[in-house]
Structure 1
Amino acid sequence: MEIISGVERRRRWRVEDKLRIVAEAERPGACFAEVARRHEVSRSVLWSWRKEVRSGVLVAEETPSFMPVQIAPERTSMAAPPSAGITAPRPAADASVERDDRIEIVLADGTAVRVPETVGTAALRRVLSALRG
């Protein structure tokens, strides 16, 4: 006998888990009801997941991949001649000590993305996937 002493809440399933369970239910010889019971999910929810997979709604997230990286010196732009009375800032004694707090990503087609090093991974992933699309 199982006694539930509180409000039952919905479980939140990760996409990877849903896909793994649906794949298990679709194996030849698998008993759909047994797979649902083993993973403690209702058959109707499993049927819904299966329908979402077949219609392309439930898909695996794109896995991150490594891209070749080349570190290149920063390009200098043509600076305008200093105006009278305005002096240009003096460069630091040791230019190699200066920090550049941005990340520059140049794609194969020449598109460049410059972001601060504090950019979130999710935001950067969205920007790069939009550029690829």
Structure 2
Amino acid sequence: MSQITVISGVERRRMWSHEQKLALVEATMMPGANVAEIARRADVRPSQIYRWRRDLLDPTPTPASGFAPVVVGPDQHEAPERPLAMVIELGGAIVRIAADAPAALVTATLRSLKR
């Protein structure tokens, strides 16, 4: 004869109210709070609390498409042309250095080209 085991009781997946989630998230925001300890006391995983934190406290929703609208119009103020002191072409890179560029910037730029 075979044996059958019947598991009864509360199902493991619990439903948390908005207030319960918010209370746990707020507890993690207190100075010196330990998310792992708070999660252990509530019998949830720390990752669940981090998920609730992101969902409940993030004021900016994620954009649906990932693209932002761009409006192209005429340039209102054009940057004045600065006189060039040097134009360096090295290994496919072109560096234009203005006459009034700081010496430290020129030195750092040329050193980075050497690498």
TM-score by length of 1: 0.36
Normalised by the length of structure 2, the TM-score is 0.41
